[in-house]
Amino acid sequence: MQSRERMNKRVTNGIALGVIGLAAIATVGALGTILLYVIINGIGQLTPAFIFTWPHGVNMEGGIWPTIQSTLYVTALAMLITTPIAVLAAVYLAEYAVQGRLVSIIRFAADSLASVPSIVMGLFGLALFVEGIGMGFSVIAAALALSFLLLPIIVRTTEESIRAVPKYIRWGSYGLGASKWQTVSRIVLPSALPRITTGVILAAGRAAGETAVVIYTMGTMINAPVSPLDPGRTMPVHLMLMAQEGINMPAAYGTALLLVLMVLGFNLTARYIGRRNRRMQG
Protein backbone atom coordinates (compact mmCIF):
# COMPACT_ATOMS: atom_id res chain seq x y z
CA MET A 1 0.00 0.00 0.00
CA GLN A 2 2.60 2.45 1.10
CA SER A 3 5.05 1.68 -1.65
CA ARG A 4 2.36 2.13 -4.31
CA GLU A 5 1.61 5.55 -2.90
CA ARG A 6 5.28 6.34 -2.94
CA MET A 7 5.49 5.19 -6.54
CA ASN A 8 2.50 7.31 -7.50
CA LYS A 9 4.06 10.28 -5.82
CA ARG A 10 7.25 9.81 -7.75
CA VAL A 11 5.54 9.25 -11.05
CA THR A 12 3.40 12.35 -10.65
CA ASN A 13 6.44 14.26 -9.57
CA GLY A 14 8.38 13.15 -12.59
CA ILE A 15 5.61 13.96 -15.02
CA ALA A 16 4.87 17.32 -13.48
CA LEU A 17 8.49 18.38 -13.46
CA GLY A 18 8.79 17.23 -17.03
CA VAL A 19 5.85 19.40 -18.03
CA ILE A 20 7.39 22.34 -16.22
CA GLY A 21 10.62 21.74 -18.05
CA LEU A 22 8.66 21.73 -21.30
CA ALA A 23 7.21 25.11 -20.46
CA ALA A 24 10.69 26.50 -20.03
CA ILE A 25 11.79 24.89 -23.28
CA ALA A 26 8.80 26.39 -25.06
CA THR A 27 9.74 29.82 -23.77
CA VAL A 28 13.35 29.58 -24.83
CA GLY A 29 12.19 27.99 -28.06
CA ALA A 30 9.90 30.92 -28.82
CA LEU A 31 12.75 33.35 -28.32
CA GLY A 32 15.07 31.23 -30.39
CA THR A 33 12.59 30.95 -33.24
CA ILE A 34 11.98 34.66 -33.44
CA LEU A 35 15.66 35.55 -33.24
CA LEU A 36 16.76 32.90 -35.69
CA TYR A 37 14.09 33.83 -38.21
CA VAL A 38 14.94 37.50 -38.10
CA ILE A 39 18.66 36.82 -38.23
CA ILE A 40 18.53 34.35 -41.08
CA ASN A 41 16.36 36.53 -43.23
CA GLY A 42 17.96 39.80 -42.34
CA ILE A 43 21.63 39.01 -42.19
CA GLY A 44 22.02 39.34 -45.92
CA GLN A 45 20.92 42.93 -45.67
CA LEU A 46 23.48 44.06 -43.15
CA THR A 47 25.97 45.70 -45.43
CA PRO A 48 27.59 49.05 -44.70
CA ALA A 49 25.57 50.38 -47.63
CA PHE A 50 22.35 49.40 -45.92
CA ILE A 51 23.31 50.95 -42.64
CA PHE A 52 24.80 54.19 -43.81
CA THR A 53 22.96 55.23 -46.95
CA TRP A 54 19.58 56.79 -47.46
CA PRO A 55 16.61 54.96 -48.90
CA HIS A 56 15.88 55.89 -52.47
CA GLY A 57 13.79 54.86 -55.35
CA VAL A 58 10.52 53.11 -55.52
CA ASN A 59 9.85 51.24 -52.32
CA MET A 60 12.80 52.47 -50.31
CA GLU A 61 15.61 50.53 -51.79
CA GLY A 62 18.98 51.42 -50.45
CA GLY A 63 19.72 51.97 -46.83
CA ILE A 64 18.00 53.05 -43.67
CA TRP A 65 20.46 55.54 -42.24
CA PRO A 66 17.97 58.33 -41.50
CA THR A 67 15.84 55.92 -39.53
CA ILE A 68 18.80 54.87 -37.44
CA GLN A 69 19.61 58.49 -36.78
CA SER A 70 15.99 59.27 -35.90
CA THR A 71 15.84 56.36 -33.50
CA LEU A 72 19.04 57.28 -31.71
CA TYR A 73 18.10 60.96 -31.55
CA VAL A 74 14.66 60.45 -30.06
CA THR A 75 15.88 57.79 -27.62
CA ALA A 76 18.72 59.98 -26.40
CA LEU A 77 16.45 63.00 -26.02
CA ALA A 78 13.80 61.00 -24.17
CA MET A 79 16.37 59.58 -21.77
CA LEU A 80 17.82 63.04 -21.22
CA ILE A 81 14.41 64.37 -20.25
CA THR A 82 13.24 61.45 -18.13
CA THR A 83 16.29 60.33 -16.22
CA PRO A 84 16.86 63.35 -13.98
CA ILE A 85 13.20 63.63 -13.09
CA ALA A 86 12.81 59.90 -12.54
CA VAL A 87 15.93 59.56 -10.42
CA LEU A 88 14.96 62.46 -8.20
CA ALA A 89 11.44 61.12 -7.89
CA ALA A 90 12.84 57.77 -6.86
CA VAL A 91 15.08 59.49 -4.32
CA TYR A 92 11.99 61.04 -2.84
CA LEU A 93 10.10 57.78 -2.68
CA ALA A 94 13.02 55.84 -1.27
CA GLU A 95 14.50 58.32 1.16
CA TYR A 96 12.02 60.96 2.13
CA ALA A 97 8.58 59.60 1.64
CA VAL A 98 6.36 58.77 4.54
CA GLN A 99 3.62 56.27 3.94
CA GLY A 100 0.48 58.23 3.46
CA ARG A 101 -2.19 59.43 1.06
CA LEU A 102 0.20 61.39 -1.13
CA VAL A 103 2.65 58.57 -1.59
CA SER A 104 -0.19 56.18 -2.30
CA ILE A 105 -1.47 58.48 -5.00
CA ILE A 106 1.98 58.89 -6.48
CA ARG A 107 2.50 55.15 -6.63
CA PHE A 108 -0.90 54.59 -8.15
CA ALA A 109 -0.18 57.23 -10.76
CA ALA A 110 3.20 55.68 -11.54
CA ASP A 111 1.66 52.24 -11.92
CA SER A 112 -1.06 53.66 -14.14
CA LEU A 113 1.48 55.39 -16.36
CA ALA A 114 3.38 52.15 -16.60
CA SER A 115 0.37 50.27 -17.90
CA VAL A 116 -0.96 52.88 -20.30
CA PRO A 117 -1.33 51.27 -23.72
CA SER A 118 1.30 52.88 -25.89
CA ILE A 119 -1.22 53.90 -28.50
CA VAL A 120 -3.07 55.94 -25.90
CA MET A 121 0.23 57.60 -25.07
CA GLY A 122 0.69 58.26 -28.77
CA LEU A 123 -2.67 59.99 -29.08
CA PHE A 124 -1.90 61.91 -25.91
CA GLY A 125 1.33 63.12 -27.46
CA LEU A 126 -0.58 64.08 -30.57
CA ALA A 127 -3.21 65.97 -28.61
CA LEU A 128 -0.87 67.81 -26.25
CA PHE A 129 2.52 68.22 -27.87
CA VAL A 130 1.92 68.04 -31.59
CA GLU A 131 -1.37 69.90 -31.82
CA GLY A 132 -2.00 71.51 -28.44
CA ILE A 133 1.35 73.20 -27.90
CA GLY A 134 1.94 73.24 -31.62
CA MET A 135 5.29 71.51 -31.86
CA GLY A 136 4.16 69.63 -34.93
CA PHE A 137 5.55 66.24 -35.72
CA SER A 138 8.94 66.50 -34.13
CA VAL A 139 11.61 64.69 -32.18
CA ILE A 140 10.86 66.74 -29.08
CA ALA A 141 7.17 65.87 -29.12
CA ALA A 142 8.03 62.20 -29.40
CA ALA A 143 10.67 62.45 -26.69
CA LEU A 144 8.25 64.14 -24.31
CA ALA A 145 5.56 61.54 -24.91
CA LEU A 146 8.10 58.74 -24.51
CA SER A 147 9.38 60.23 -21.28
CA PHE A 148 5.98 59.80 -19.65
CA LEU A 149 6.08 56.17 -20.66
CA LEU A 150 9.61 55.64 -19.36
CA LEU A 151 9.22 57.58 -16.11
CA PRO A 152 7.61 54.82 -14.02
CA ILE A 153 10.07 52.25 -15.32
CA ILE A 154 13.11 54.23 -14.31
CA VAL A 155 11.53 55.29 -11.01
CA ARG A 156 10.93 51.66 -10.15
CA THR A 157 14.42 50.41 -10.95
CA THR A 158 16.09 53.42 -9.35
CA GLU A 159 14.03 53.04 -6.21
CA GLU A 160 15.04 49.40 -5.96
CA SER A 161 18.66 50.32 -6.50
CA ILE A 162 18.56 52.92 -3.75
CA ARG A 163 16.89 50.57 -1.32
CA ALA A 164 19.54 47.99 -2.07
CA VAL A 165 22.20 50.21 -0.57
CA PRO A 166 22.77 48.77 2.90
CA LYS A 167 21.44 50.73 5.81
CA TYR A 168 24.64 50.71 7.78
CA ILE A 169 26.35 52.83 5.15
CA ARG A 170 23.79 55.53 5.68
CA TRP A 171 24.03 55.27 9.44
CA GLY A 172 27.76 55.68 9.18
CA SER A 173 27.27 58.81 7.14
CA TYR A 174 24.73 60.30 9.50
CA GLY A 175 26.92 59.35 12.40
CA LEU A 176 29.64 61.49 10.89
CA GLY A 177 27.25 64.42 10.90
CA ALA A 178 26.29 64.51 7.26
CA SER A 179 22.93 65.95 6.27
CA LYS A 180 20.41 63.91 4.40
CA TRP A 181 21.19 65.41 1.06
CA GLN A 182 24.91 64.95 1.58
CA THR A 183 24.33 61.33 2.42
CA VAL A 184 22.11 60.77 -0.55
CA SER A 185 24.19 62.60 -3.09
CA ARG A 186 27.65 61.53 -1.99
CA ILE A 187 27.11 58.07 -0.56
CA VAL A 188 23.83 56.47 -1.55
CA LEU A 189 23.48 57.51 -5.17
CA PRO A 190 27.05 56.76 -6.21
CA SER A 191 26.73 53.40 -4.55
CA ALA A 192 23.51 52.67 -6.37
CA LEU A 193 24.75 54.11 -9.63
CA PRO A 194 25.54 50.86 -11.48
CA ARG A 195 22.11 49.47 -10.85
CA ILE A 196 20.50 52.77 -11.77
CA THR A 197 22.48 52.78 -14.99
CA THR A 198 21.30 49.27 -15.73
CA GLY A 199 17.72 50.38 -15.33
CA VAL A 200 18.25 53.44 -17.50
CA ILE A 201 19.84 51.44 -20.30
CA LEU A 202 17.02 48.91 -20.26
CA ALA A 203 14.52 51.75 -20.44
CA ALA A 204 16.41 53.15 -23.41
CA GLY A 205 15.99 49.81 -25.11
CA ARG A 206 12.28 50.08 -24.55
CA ALA A 207 12.20 53.61 -25.93
CA ALA A 208 14.08 52.59 -29.06
CA GLY A 209 11.54 49.91 -29.84
CA GLU A 210 8.42 52.01 -29.37
CA THR A 211 6.21 52.41 -32.39
CA ALA A 212 2.73 53.57 -31.49
CA VAL A 213 3.94 56.54 -29.46
CA VAL A 214 6.40 57.73 -32.07
CA ILE A 215 4.15 57.43 -35.08
CA TYR A 216 1.71 60.02 -33.81
CA THR A 217 4.31 62.42 -32.46
CA MET A 218 7.22 62.21 -34.84
CA GLY A 219 5.47 61.40 -38.06
CA THR A 220 6.51 59.04 -40.80
CA MET A 221 8.61 61.17 -43.10
CA ILE A 222 12.01 59.88 -44.07
CA ASN A 223 14.27 62.54 -42.64
CA ALA A 224 17.43 62.82 -40.61
CA PRO A 225 16.34 65.24 -37.90
CA VAL A 226 18.80 67.92 -36.92
CA SER A 227 16.84 70.19 -34.65
CA PRO A 228 14.45 68.74 -32.10
CA LEU A 229 11.61 70.25 -34.10
CA ASP A 230 12.33 68.16 -37.17
CA PRO A 231 10.14 65.19 -37.97
CA GLY A 232 11.61 61.84 -38.71
CA ARG A 233 10.93 58.16 -39.06
CA THR A 234 12.36 55.76 -36.53
CA MET A 235 13.35 52.18 -37.20
CA PRO A 236 10.29 50.56 -35.61
CA VAL A 237 8.01 52.86 -37.63
CA HIS A 238 9.99 52.09 -40.76
CA LEU A 239 9.66 48.38 -40.07
CA MET A 240 5.93 48.68 -39.62
CA LEU A 241 5.49 50.66 -42.83
CA MET A 242 7.74 48.34 -44.82
CA ALA A 243 5.83 45.34 -43.52
CA GLN A 244 2.48 46.93 -44.27
CA GLU A 245 3.43 47.98 -47.77
CA GLY A 246 4.83 44.55 -48.23
CA ILE A 247 6.78 45.35 -51.35
CA ASN A 248 10.36 45.67 -50.15
CA MET A 249 10.51 42.80 -47.71
CA PRO A 250 14.31 42.45 -47.66
CA ALA A 251 14.55 45.98 -46.30
CA ALA A 252 11.95 45.09 -43.69
CA TYR A 253 13.96 42.08 -42.58
CA GLY A 254 17.11 44.16 -42.44
CA THR A 255 15.39 46.81 -40.33
CA ALA A 256 13.97 44.16 -38.02
CA LEU A 257 17.38 42.61 -37.54
CA LEU A 258 19.06 45.93 -36.86
CA LEU A 259 16.35 46.83 -34.40
CA VAL A 260 16.67 43.52 -32.59
CA LEU A 261 20.45 43.91 -32.51
CA MET A 262 20.08 47.40 -31.08
CA VAL A 263 17.75 46.24 -28.33
CA LEU A 264 19.97 43.22 -27.68
CA GLY A 265 22.89 45.60 -27.43
CA PHE A 266 21.10 47.66 -24.79
CA ASN A 267 20.12 44.51 -22.91
CA LEU A 268 23.57 42.98 -22.94
CA THR A 269 25.23 46.25 -21.93
CA ALA A 270 22.88 46.58 -18.99
CA ARG A 271 23.53 43.00 -18.00
CA TYR A 272 27.28 43.47 -18.29
CA ILE A 273 27.21 46.52 -16.04
CA GLY A 274 25.07 44.67 -13.54
CA ARG A 275 27.37 41.69 -13.49
CA ARG A 276 30.49 43.79 -13.13
CA ASN A 277 28.90 45.63 -10.25
CA ARG A 278 27.92 42.43 -8.50
CA ARG A 279 31.39 41.05 -8.89
CA MET A 280 32.90 44.21 -7.45
CA GLN A 281 30.60 44.13 -4.48
CA GLY A 282 31.82 40.62 -3.80
Of residues 5 through 24, those in contact with other proteins by CB under 8 A are: 9-10, 12-13, 16-17, 19-24
Per DSSP, the three-state class of 88 is helix
Helix (H) or strand (E) holding 236: helix 235-245
Give the total of residues touching other proteins (CB under 8 A). 120
For other proteins, the binding residue among 106, 193, 224, 261 (CB under 8 A) is 106
Q: CA triplet 70, 74, 80: central angle to 5 degrees?
A: 150
Contact between 128 and 217 under an 8 Å Cβ cutoff? The reply is: no
**Minimum CB distance to other proteins smaller for 43 or for 85:** 85
Q: How far is the CB of 48 from other proteins (least distance, A)?
A: 21
Distance CA 276, CA 278 (A): 5
Any contact of residue 169 with other proteins (CB under 8 A)? Answer: no
Shortest distance in whole angstroms from residue 111 CB to other proteins: 5
The contact pattern for other proteins, residues 250-269, with x = CB under 8 A and - = no contact, is --x---x--xx--xx-xx--
By beta-carbon proximity to other proteins, the closer residue of 72 and 263 is 263
For the chain, helix (H) and strand (E) counts, in that order, are: 12, 2
10 Å CB burial of residue 198 (0-12, 13-18, 19+) is buried
Burial environment of residue 136 by CB neighbours within 10 A (0 to 12, 13 to 18, 19 or more): middle
Q: To which H or E segment does residue 61 belong?
A: strand 61-62
Which C-beta is closer to other proteins: that of 72 or that of 113?
A: 113
Residue 68 or 252 with smaller CB distance to other proteins: 252
Residues 52-81 that bind other proteins (CB under 8 A): 56-59, 80
- Residues numbered 177 to 196 that lie near other proteins (CB under 8 A) are 177, 179-181
Based on CB atoms, which residue is closest to other proteins, 73 or 266?
Answer: 266
Under rule CB under 8 A, residue 43 binds other proteins:
no
